[in-house]
Structure formats: C-alpha cells, structure tokens
Structure 1
Amino acid sequence: MLCACDGADSRSPAQRVASDFTTDVPMVREAMLDASYWIERLDRDDVRMDAAAIRRFNNASFELDEHLNDLDEFPQTLPRAQVLKWIDGVSRPASSPRYHVDGRIVSTEDYAALEAAVQRERVPAEVDVRWGMVVERASMRSFPTDTRVLKSQDDRDLDRFQETGVFPGQRLALLHESADGLWWFAVNYHYAAWLPKQAVALAAREQLERWAAREQRLMVTGASVTTNYNPKDARTSQVLLDMGVSLPLLTAREVGHNVHGQNPYASYIVSLPVRSDTGALEFEPALIGRGRDVRVGPLAYRPSNILRQAFKFLGERYGWGHDYNARDCTGFVGEVYKSVGILMPRNSGQQGASGFAPTKTFAPGDREERLTALANLSVGDLIYIPGHVMMYIGRVEGEPYVIHDVTGLRYFAEDQSLYTGTLSGVSVTPLTPLLLNREKSFVDGIYAIKTII
C-alpha cells in the first residue's frame, strides 16, 4: 500500500475536485457554500418569534398589505369592477415588444386572440365566488395559455407570461374562466392570475376551511420532496411538494396498516388533495417516508434555521415565476420563510414597498445611510433593489454576504474593466462589489431593507 509520504494522493476523487475549486464570483471561498460556515459565525441564535407571534405577524400582514388576501375573510360575492381590476393587473399587452420562441414578434392579432380568451365581457355585474384547491404544482399565467413569450429573442429563460407557481393544498377563490373552459382566473393568498383547471379541484368553501384548520400537519422542509410511489392511484404517486407545503397528518388508526399496498409505519400519512373524475375535491391518504426532509409543524424561527433552509436551494437553477420546477428571487425567500410559518407578498416590488415587516427605506444618493444600515444587518434580513431581493447571511472581514436567486453577474475586475458573467441560480455572493450596470452598484440601488420580526 502507498501512503501520502510515498508521493501518492490519498484523497478521494471528490476531495481532489473540491480542492481545485475556482469561481468567477469575487471574494467567495468554497467553505462559504456550506450553511455551517455561516451558522458558526452567528453571535446569537435565539428564537425570534414563537408560533403565537408568527400568527400575529401574519394577521397584521394581511391587514396592512393590499397584495395579500385573507381567504378566511374573502367575500362570497365581488363586483365586476374588482374582478376586472385583478384581471387587468396581469392580462394586458406589454409596453415593449415580445417574441415567440421561434423568433416571431407577438402581434396585435396575437393579443386580440388572447383578449378573446380572457372574455372580459362575460364577467357579470356581481361575481359569485367559487372555491377550489390546488392538487398539483402548476403555473399561474398572465393569460389563459401555455404559450411562452420572451422579452428578447436571446433571453429564452424568462417566459413573460409566467407569473408564479401554486402548490398542492393552496386554497383558491375562483372568479372567472377562459373562453375555452380550460383555465380559471383565481386568487390565492398572495396572487391573482390564470391557472389550468386540471390543477384545481372544486369544493365547498367549508370543506376547504375544515382541511386548512387541521392543526396536526406535516411541513415540507426540504427544497422539495415527493410522496411515495403508489402503483394503485397516480393522483397520489410521487406528487411534487415544495418547501413550505403543509398537509394534515393522518394516523394508522384512521387509515389502517395498509396504505395503497404499503405499511405506513415508516412513513408519515398525510391527507392529500386530489381531483376526482368530475373535477371535485377529494382527500386521499398518501405516504411520505420519514427519511425525507419533512417535520411535524413548522421549524422554529431562528437564524440557524433560516440559513439551513436557504442553503437547501443553493445551486438550484433560476426559474422565473417558479418556472423550471424551481423559483425566482422572491419565490426563494418566500419558501424559506414559509417553512417557519411566515407569509409574505409574492413579488419583490410588492414586498419592498409593503409595510408587512419593519422596514428601512432609502432616498436616492443616501450611500452613507445605506452603508450604515448594511453594517447593522441581522441574518435573514431582506435587501431590496429594483426587481430583486437578497437575504443577508453574515459578514466576513467587513464585507456583507448574501444568498439570492439571481441571473446576472457584474463587477469591476482588478484592471477596472467591467466583468459580465452569469449566475442563473441560487448563489452566495458578496454585496458591495456587485453592479447593476457600469454606473450603479447594488448598494446604490438599495431602496429598502426588511427585518422579519
């Protein structure tokens, strides 16, 4: 046998690859790509809010923020003007050219066809709200169509008709349907847009409320998990569940010791919403192995848990509006905080301008005030620049670092030339070297910082 003293490299291939770590991201070392690096640097790791405080926080957010919808208090009828306001918020022609994936420009005729699909004229004077529940991960869209539309012919990742994602167990107020009868215009707790009917099961409002009120629940704490394979019913087989999804727990006393051909003792049994052949909501027992990244109830809201949750997404490809079975910058921070029970508005501009959490705001040119605020950040604070949000994770040698789901990378190289690269995923970066453009840094673009407490 050879030993290290004989000149042989005794490290595993994985260790040798790790030692050769290189990156074009400035000021980042490989150790920084592990949550433990940042957890070890915490001065304090106290619980910031208990379950009761989080309920109060969420209730206050629903009262303060026009972009959040308390479905428990949602009206049963709505005036036509309100429904049209929501529809007009997403279903409108873009102010700049849009392109099909084959390079054709989205024409006036294309928009006319989309407008016909929306059929605004069919919205009645008084809209009687119908109710449903999401049964599979799906997209909420600007228009009732799966057609991808791009801002430029070169940028094929960002589908500009993609608004956000919905997830199993989310309640929906159903307000309107498309001309072809295949899409609902729906409102969930933080968005209003179109989604395919096949992802929704219809139910009585009371049925949804009873299911949502069940207290013993399983929380998905991994980036995503799936239910166990079920050869008997595809509706409950390997269903994708993203971080923050919460499902009621069942017991073997309720369902027995054989669930779809598997003994449930080594799994959690959850009540999973499914869609019947007629489109009605049903609940079926489904299994999620106890070895999966799940837990009973939300995580405690403490800095170490926020860091662990954020780093579970590290390296995931950027998905605009939850495209690519992934998420964007606000989807990322939203899912992390949802795993401790905290809800927030969907889009970065809505979050940044909202009063849903203690907020510092900055006027243009207040660079020193921004730098002072950055020097006093707490782990988990959210930093807003136009169109983007970042999460503060700690400081190294005076430099604040963030984790964020981000597309581009710009900074001045050592020779002061502008370096332009790509990230397109959940990334750890320093904050102060990053640039919005040659003239403006990320720091200069900060307009709000929020502390979730």
Structure 2
Amino acid sequence: MYVFLFCLLFFSLCFKSVSWAYQKDEEEIKDIVSLSQNCFYYITGDYSDRILNVEAQKNMDNQYNKHYFSPWSQSGPSRGLDSLLWPFKWFPYQKTYGENRRLRLYGWYEKQKENAQIEHFGSQNKKAIVVEEANLRAFPSNEPVFFDFEKAGEGYPFDYGQNTTVKPGDPLFVSHLSEDGAWAFVDSHAVSGWIDTRRIAWITEDQIKMWREYPMGVVIKDNLPLLDNEKHFYAKAKIGTILPIVKHFPLQASYEVLIPVRGLDSNVFFKKIILSDCCITPKPLDFTKWNAAYIASQFMHEPYGWGGGNNRRDCSATTQDFFAVFGLWLPRNSKAQASQGISVDVKGLPLIEKEKTVLSQGKPFLTLAALPGHIMLYIGTYHDKPVFLHNLWGIRTLVEEKEGRLIIGRTVITSLEAGNELSSIVEESIIGNRVTHFVVLSD
C-alpha cells in the first residue's frame, strides 16, 4: 500500500510539473488561466477520506461487472436489429461529406448496406474478446461521415461514423460478419457497432471461465503499452482497461496479468505480462479523495476525441473511464449518463441558483452536470464556487449574427461561467445557463 501511495504521489508531482505546461492561446478563456488545472488543489479535508464507503462501492462494482461481462452471457444480439439499421435509416437522407469535404453520394451508403449483410443479423452469435484498442463504427468502414464543415460544431472531428472505442480485454458478442469479412457487428457492454476483425479474437466458454476466475485489475495509468519480457508490443491500454491479475509480487511492486492475443487461427490465447502497481491495481480502486484526484489528473489536457476518435476521449468517455476505475458503470454517451443516479432538476434556474444547488446537494467526484450534448464532473470549489472537469470541444460564440466556436479542444477545469468574459458569447450559450440537471451517482 505504501509503495502504491508513493507511486501515486510521484506521478502526481510529475504531472504537476510537466503536464501543466502548454502554449497559451491568445484567446484562452479566463477560467483556464485563473483556475488551477491541478485536480489535487480542490481536495479539502483528509485526503484519505472515502467518497463511497466500502460496502456501497462493492455493491456498485458487482453491478459494474454484470454490465461489463454481459456480452459473454448473451445468446443473441442484445439491442435488436435497429442497432444495426439506424445509420442506414438516417444518414443516406442527410447532406453528409467525406474526408475530402465532398458530398457522400447515396451510392456510398448502398455499398455499405450491401457489405453489412443485414439479412445475416444474428446468424453467427459467437463470443469474442478485444485484443487491442479499436473503434466501433456505425458502418463497416473506417471512412468518416461528416456534416457541413462550414457549420460551427460540425466537420472534423465530428465523424458520425464513429460510435466509440473499445479496450483490450473487453468482452464482445458477435452478431455476424460483413460480406468482405473485414468487419464484425458486435455488442460491447455499452455500445453496438462494427469492429475491424483483426482487432478481435474468438473465445471459448472454457477460456471465458478461466479469464473470470482471476481477480480483476484496472489500469490506472493512461496510454500504457502492454509489453512482454522481450519488449514485444501487443496493445495500448487506456485508464479503465480491465485485465485479470494472476499474481502479485509485493517486493517488486508489480502484478502478473493476462492479456488476450489473436492467434493465426483467429482464436484467442492468453499471455502473461508484468505491470507495475503504479500502472494497474485490483479493481475497484478505493474511492478516496486522493485516488479520485489522482485518476482525474490523468485526463487533464488530453486532446478532444469525438467518439474516441484518434484513441482520445470526448466528454462522456472521460467520465465513463474515470468511474470505471472505482467500479461505477456508466453508459457511453452524455444523454444516457445524464439519466443515471439521482437527478436534481435545475432547468430554467438562474446560474447562481444552479451553483448553490450543486454546492448543497452535490458531492465532489460523485456528481455530474448535464446539459444538451455535454457532461461534466463536479470536483470541488474555488472561492465558494463549484468547478468541473470536462473534455470540452469549444464554447459557442456569436459574431455578426454568425454562430462559431472558441475551441478549447481538451480536458480542462472550469466554472459554470466558463467564457463569460468573451464579448462574442451570448448569455444563453454560457455553459452554466445550459445545464439542465445535476446527477448524484450515489446518496
């Protein structure tokens, strides 16, 4: 435990001295300059205080595991045919663009539909495991789908062909393959979509049983390379990646874990590798103030990645991965996350009343702020005002009656008044004015 705490302290100090450094943009909003971007700054009281008691966290972790491993309990696709059909019902009838900024013609969608083999939905029904970080796509293609590049908040990076990303070790249920065999339509624990078949391997019931017999560990260091003793690289693990722990080596401050590897026959085999206990810990990590600030600090300044594009996070991926470490399951998108827990309605209230509400009813690191298309994590206060961690693309602006965006494009800490000093921002566009409710994830 002391070694683990030392590692946490070491990484937090390194974080403080290194990752704060960034080039100041001439249009940087005041909050990012005036508010500390160090998550530890907002901890009050004893750092070792628990945010959730042991029993409550254990119960939530059990529920997390039910969600997470659910694809391996399925006998058929869990989300119905519409999980496959919806992109074909919607996008072909919109004006969409490709990566070359030219219109996606109807024929492109017809080609995707033919490759999707919709008539084969639910015909394969096999279980698989993710062997390396991968995208889940709306169509069996890596080719992007953009709306109008000239419209604020559209174009790159908003590829609507991107559903989410999955992590090494994630359980999958495979409905069927595309006609060309390059894609599998799958259910993950949170999202359905098309995955490159090179990123998965078939897994048997005996292998699932063996995988699940071990205690689970969760990765707590972001973008962790998974290497064997010969330094062969297998995959990259983000925070929230879950892997079985085979053995603990206290004197070496390390764990032996299993990683899944795709064999030449497309079946999985497991390889043992060693990871430092600064990189992985038994799941769930104790939900203390210190640990919450440490995990949150790992996300700071990460570039924005819509739907997990470029193996980055957007707002809801940030909150999902944060809570995964502590055994609290969240769905993937901001709207679904906003329906979790205990909802405190603040829609239509003045901003100052919203601030008072979250201060009185919210709990740092256990409360979300929800607004259309965005989600934020409440982490504490500064001068009696609430502050939030969130991965934010940009702040809405209005110049000569034309809507625009002041791009933030990364994970930051702000107040609810972020950007209110800008002459180009209109009152209804201030983040706090758009917050509709707060979500307390446990009482």
Normalising by the smaller structure, the TM-score range is: 0.7 to 0.9
Aligned residue for 2:336, secondary structure, equals: helix
Number of the residue aligned with 1:438: 426
Q: What pairs up with 1:304-323 in 2 under 5 angstroms?
A: 304-323=290-309
When the two chains are superposed, the root-mean-square deviation of aligned CA atoms in Å is 3.5
How far is the alpha carbon of 1:89 from its aligned partner?
4.1
Q: Confirm or deny: 8 A CA contact 1:219 1:245 kept in the other structure.
A: yes
RCO (CA 8 Å, sep 6+): is it higher in 1 or 2?
2
Distance 1:250 1:444, change over 3 A: same
Number of the residue aligned with 1:4: none
Number of the residue aligned with 2:6: none
Q: Confirm or deny: 8 A CA contact 1:78 1:128 kept in the other structure.
A: no
Q: What pairs up with 1:52-451 in 2 under 5 angstroms?
A: 52-57=55-60, 71=70, 74-77=73-76, 83-94=80-91, 96-123=94-121, 127=123, 129-153=125-149, 155-215=155-215, 217-228=216-227, 231=230, 234=232, 237=233, 239-251=235-247, 267-290=254-277, 292-352=278-338, 354=339, 356-364=340-348, 370-376=354-360, 377-380=362-365, 381-410=367-396, 421-434=406-419, 438-440=426-428, 441-451=430-440
Aligned residue for 2:260, secondary structure, equals: strand
Which runs of 5 or more residues in structure 2 are unaligned?
Answer: 1-16
How far is the alpha carbon of 1:214 from its aligned partner?
1.5
Overall identity of the aligned pairs, in %? 22
Distance 1:179 1:93, change over 3 A: farther
How far is the alpha carbon of 1:60 from its aligned partner?
5.8
Distance 1:329 1:368, change over 3 A: same
In the superposition, the TM-score normalised over structure 1's length comes to: 0.80
How far is the alpha carbon of 1:350 from its aligned partner?
0.9
The one of 47, 52, 65 aligned to 1:49: 52
Letter aligned with residue 214 of structure 2: R
Q: Give me the whole-angstrom Cα distance separating, in 1, the residues matched to 2:426 and 2:371.
A: 16
Letter aligned with residue 306 of structure 1: A
Q: Give me the whole-angstrom Cα distance separating, in 2, the residues matched to 1:179 and 1:156.
A: 29
Q: Confirm or deny: 8 A CA contact 1:133 1:208 kept in the other structure.
A: no
Aligned residue for 1:389, secondary structure, equals: strand
Distance 1:166 1:132, change over 3 A: same
Q: Give me the whole-angstrom Cα distance separating, in 1, the residues matched to 2:69 and 2:242.
A: 17
Q: Give me the whole-angstrom Cα distance separating, in 2, the residues matched to 1:433 and 1:78.
A: 42
Q: Deviations over 1:87-123 (max 9, x none)?
A: 1245543264211111211111111111111121233
How far is the alpha carbon of 1:50 from its aligned partner?
4.5
Letter aligned with residue 446 of structure 1: V
Larger deviation, residues 98-107 vs 433-442: 433-442
Number of the residue aligned with 1:6: none
How far is the alpha carbon of 1:77 from its aligned partner?
3.8
Number of the residue aligned with 2:38: 34
Q: Confirm or deny: 8 A CA contact 1:163 1:193 kept in the other structure.
A: yes
How far is the alpha carbon of 1:22 from its aligned partner?
7.7
Distance 1:318 1:18, change over 3 A: closer
Letter aligned with residue 372 of structure 1: K
Aligned residue for 2:90, secondary structure, equals: coil
Q: Confirm or deny: 8 A CA contact 2:355 2:386 kept in the other structure.
A: no
Q: Give me the whole-angstrom Cα distance separating, in 2, the residues matched to 1:296 and 1:44.
A: 20
User: How many residue pairs were aligned?
Assistant: 410
Q: Confirm or deny: 8 A CA contact 2:77 2:173 kept in the other structure.
A: no
Q: Deviations over 1:133-153 (max 9, x none)?
A: 111000000011011222233
Whichever of the two has the greater Rg, that structure is 1
Q: Confirm or deny: 8 A CA contact 1:28 1:430 kept in the other structure.
A: no
How far is the alpha carbon of 1:54 from its aligned partner?
2.9
Aligned residue for 2:176, secondary structure, equals: strand
Distance 1:421 1:275, change over 3 A: same
Q: Confirm or deny: 8 A CA contact 1:101 1:153 kept in the other structure.
A: no
Q: Give me the whole-angstrom Cα distance separating, in 2, the residues matched to 1:42 and 1:325.
A: 36
Letter aligned with residue 201 of structure 1: A
How far is the alpha carbon of 1:280 from its aligned partner?
0.4
Q: Give me the whole-angstrom Cα distance separating, in 2, the residues matched to 1:408 and 1:289.
A: 36
Aligned residue for 1:111, secondary structure, equals: helix
Q: Give me the whole-angstrom Cα distance separating, in 1, the residues matched to 2:213 and 2:267.
A: 20
Aligned residue for 1:308, secondary structure, equals: helix
Letter aligned with residue 250 of structure 1: V
How far is the alpha carbon of 1:447 from its aligned partner?
2.0
How far is the alpha carbon of 1:53 from its aligned partner?
2.3
How far is the alpha carbon of 1:450 from its aligned partner?
1.2
Q: Give me the whole-angstrom Cα distance separating, in 1, the residues matched to 2:189 and 2:310.
A: 22
In the superposition, the TM-score normalised over structure 2's length comes to: 0.82
Q: Confirm or deny: 8 A CA contact 1:412 1:433 kept in the other structure.
A: no
Q: Give me the whole-angstrom Cα distance separating, in 2, the residues matched to 1:302 and 1:295.
A: 14
How far is the alpha carbon of 1:439 from its aligned partner?
4.7
How far is the alpha carbon of 1:287 from its aligned partner?
2.5
